[in-house]
Amino acid sequence: MADAPMAASAESPMRQRVEEYVYKLQDNIVAAFEKLDPNAPAFKRDSWTRPQGGAGRSCVFAVPFPPEGAPPPQTVLEKGGVNVSVVHGMLPPPAIKQMRADHSSIPDITTAVPFFAAGLSLVIHPRNPHAPTVHANYRYFEITEEPTEEEKAAGKLGKVIAWWFGGGGDLTPSYLYEEDAVHFHKTIKAACDPHGADVYPTFKKWCDEYFFIPHRGEARGIGGIFFDDLCAEPHKRFADDAKRPRSADEIFAFVKTAGDAFVPSYVPILERRCRTPSTEADRRWQLLRRGRYVEFNLVYDRGTKFGLMTPGARVESILMSLPEVARWEYMSDLGTEAETREAQLMEVLKTPRAWV
């Protein structure tokens, strides 16, 4: 078990407040899944350190591969992970140059500078084909000046040059249940609305655009919210006069509200669908949809690509999002026949819908 961060107050540095929150959120989410299926194996808690700076804790659910002839597992989850990472180190100039495109406050630095990143990322793959996969993450990134020798000696950090928050989450069903989609989006919208009327529609649209597989011409799932580069600067997704969180305190308050909404947005859906009767044909379709999930995560997902390019990357944590089992069929006919449950899903994956 990773050491818990010191209790943070409103006056504490933002990095300390975020670290404390993501560890607390991880505990709450894992506890909710373990309560739902108390006879299943507990999540494995795996604390780790990064040689280049930082640490984290991965909480991963997996069932040992059954011996030959043994019945298949009956757990609610097939695979899942709720991971926290809190890392720091030196950010090279090429990375700084790339980030300046969205953060004009970052100076044109030609030398490496200290960075700090903290966040929670989760992916849950249920066993039942009628229970949807879900993904969510909440993160904070900070760049500081190189501290002076006096600051180093006093254990102080350099001046913050730039900071921003990102995150979001989406629901990826194999079979469409409209009441589930409405519940998921309604809960997320309720978390967003106190922070500005433009927040949910802006982040919902961004999610539909981001979690899209161009070579398939379809979305990965039925959406949720996606946000990035939230800071005090003007944001290209919002009008200048739009009501939205702007200061670090306001954005952090929004991130906490969104994070706290995860369990009520998803766990009731999982509880409702986890024991729905299913067939081998349902399982085949589920595995084909998981194949699409893999395609997006390995080809397009910015977080996966950034993680794999980071020095000292912890590959096991980065690829935790991939399902345990997936399937690809050449020119599969599933999802192409009109008026089938599979075709019903494909319709909303190709044409995003407003659920609330």
Whether the Cβ atoms of residue 94 and residue 309 lie closer than 8 Å to each other: no
| Secondary structure class of 30 (helix, strand, coil) | helix
Q: What is the CA radius of gyration of the chain?
A: 21
CB atoms within 10 A of CB 183: 20
CA distances from 43 to 39, 204, 324 (A): 12, 31, 15
Determine phi and psi for 47, rounding to 5 degrees.
-85, 140
Burial class (CB in 10 A: 0-12, 13-18, 19+), 280: exposed
200, two tokens: 């949910």
Which of 113, 119, 310 lies closest to 228, judged by CA?
Answer: 119
237, two tokens: 């997704």
Within 8 A by CB and 6+ apart from 180, the residues are 132, 171, 173, 269, 272, 273
Whether the Cβ atoms of residue 58 and residue 81 lie closer than 8 Å to each other: yes
Overall residue count recorded for the chain in this entry: 356
CA distance 62 to 179: 29
CA distance 129 to 53: 40
The sign of the torsion formed by the CA atoms of 186, 138, 288, 37 equals: negative
* DSSP at 220: S
Which of 65, 57, 64, 48 lies closest to 29, judged by CA?
Answer: 57
Active-site residue set = 135
